[in-house]
Amino acid sequence: MAYKEVNMIVDEAKSSLEMHHADLENQLIEELNRPQPDQNIIAEIKKQKLRIKDELSGLNA
């Protein structure tokens, strides 16, 4: 596989992860704005966001 193709694949993966991270951020904000936010849901969303950040940092290395 050519270097350019690998870069395109990595860029697509980054973009996908960034979009998923943004979706999770929106879910988190939505949950936090509920009258009685579910702390378990909040914790799970935060874990997912951290996993995505770790994946992104691995792709940037």
Look up residue 2 and give its two tokens. 């050519």
What are the angstrom distances between the C-alpha of 23 and each of 8, 32, 49, 59?
Answer: 23, 14, 10, 20
Task: Compute the average pLDDT of residues 2-13.
Answer: 86
Q: Give the pTM.
A: 0.85
What is the per-residue pLDDT across 19-59, written as a single tens digit (0 to 9) for each? 999 999 999 999 999 999 999 999 999 999 999 999 999 98
